Structure 1
């Protein structure tokens, strides 16, 4: 871990709940500002798309290269957004009725013992447009392929090289529908899962780069 928090101003919590919902407090302390950002992004997502698909993915850098991490993550989301827009446009050109989909996201940057950092990412999509990452063994035509292509574009490397650094965890899919009575339970499950992203441990405050980011609306 490369973690010097002596000069940071963050609110830390050792509590077992956030907004009355359980969190993974075994990773305490958790950073309240990061939890607030996740919470606000969930709110934006479900307000716009009342049926929301939330997807967890991890992005790792290839060994042996150094990157401007914040520039890379910005490029990643720009590429993914462009691919989603192009896919919707192409489907509509084919006469398919497709709902709009505004991409929202949260990311955290971490570093343990490796040379490079890595990212934990939470994506929010319109469930009426995309409701699965697809077969992660396929390299075309689904969300997993788009995510890998976006990572390759951000890194400026080949798809095959970038693919090695994209990890889809087993418990990656969450579905939210604020019109259903189960909505709070759905949010509770997601908050518990991604509260791990708000842990102070393994955040790097030594290089002046951001460790947390989110879509703004």
Structure 2
């Protein structure tokens, strides 16, 4: 079942004059500073690659720690492996949380080139195996575990940002500890397209938005035309069904030539039609009687002239 972002489960977040729907926490709200950093991090990856895969996994720990050293050692090793494996820059966004359990856990997102990988299955299984094999704890797969962001395409980027914004909720974050609640690796923007214009359209490219909106409008118009044609066709068929019996009756009522047949096959659906048919039959008999008398009169004249 496809997850839908609605007004009930989201908030509006403004970034670079564009509005985005982000996760709506039940309590305490969003950490806007951390959320802004998430947006910037995604921009950084999109400056390097026109397609970026975002993969999610949750990591639980075996024991509580006042710092993140074990996690940082683990993620550093995994980034090195994944960089070589996919020949891509690899970055991560992570949130440390602790709710009612004794131990803390991590919500982890891995970002890398969408040209090198387009599904999270192998990646998340690899991370799960590595985390558990090192005895750090257990790893859990999540629903909707990956998204592919396309540069400048807000329709593909907004769902990924919504999922990442779950990490920046204030609820379940630990207070008054030395360990950071939000963890990012250092990521510089690409210098290949080092311009403000390029950086400003990494998340929303007006040309792409215009093209998508135009396509959406055309699709709606096409669907509306198709619906109207179908509706008109049904209406015309309905009208024909109502009109056809009357057409048949009119033919029967106005023809000068009657086909003698079984009356059971005559469909006369209105009492007036029976009256008209009766009148026409009387008229038919009357005309032929007059013709018959005229013929008799002519015969009598011819006989009298011969005598």
Aligned residue in 2 for 1:133: 120
Stretch deviating more after TM superposition (68-77 or 110-119) = 68-77
Q: Which runs of 5+ in 2 are unaligned?
A: 1-9, 188-307
Aligned residue in 2 for 1:213: 183
- In the TM superposition, 1:104-183 aligns within 5 A as 104-134=91-121, 142-152=122-132, 156-157=134-135, 162=137, 165-178=138-151, 183=153
1:188 lines up with 2:158 in the alignment: yes
- In the TM superposition, 1:66-81 aligns within 5 A as 66-67=64-65, 69-81=67-79
1:68, 1:26 → 2: CA distance? 26
1:202, 1:102 → 2: CA distance? 31
1:24 lines up with 2:34 in the alignment: no
1:66, 1:50 → 2: CA distance? 39
2:151, 2:67 → 1: CA distance? 34
Higher relative contact order, structure no. (Cα contacts within 8 Å, ≥ 6 residues apart): 1
- In the TM superposition, 1:8-47 aligns within 5 A as 16-19=11-14, 20-27=19-26, 28-47=28-47
Q: Secondary structure at the match of 1:204?
A: coil
CA shift in 2, pair 1:192/1:58, >3 Å: same
1:66, 1:24 → 2: CA distance? 27
Task: Figure out how many residues of one structure are paired with residues of the other and give that number.
Answer: 173
Q: Secondary structure at the match of 1:23?
A: strand
Aligned residue in 1 for 2:232: none
Q: Deviations over 1:70-94 (max 9, x none)?
A: 1122112212112224434xxxxxx
Q: Give me the CA root mean square deviation.
A: 2.1
CA shift in 2, pair 1:26/1:211, >3 Å: closer
Deviation at 1:23, TM superposition (A): 1.6
Query: TM-score scaled to structure 2, two decimals?
Result: 0.52
Deviation at 1:191, TM superposition (A): 1.8
Contact residue 80 and residue 146 of structure 1 kept, 8 A: no
| Larger helix share, 1 or 2 | 2
- In the TM superposition, 1:80-99 aligns within 5 A as 80-88=78-86
Q: Which runs of 5+ in 1 are unaligned?
A: 1-14, 89-99, 135-141
Deviation at 1:215, TM superposition (A): 1.8
Larger Rg: 2
1:196, 1:204 → 2: CA distance? 16
1:214, 1:108 → 2: CA distance? 9
Q: Deviations over 1:76-115 (max 9, x none)?
A: 2212112224434xxxxxxxxxxx3111111111001111
Contact residue 58 and residue 168 of structure 1 kept, 8 A: yes
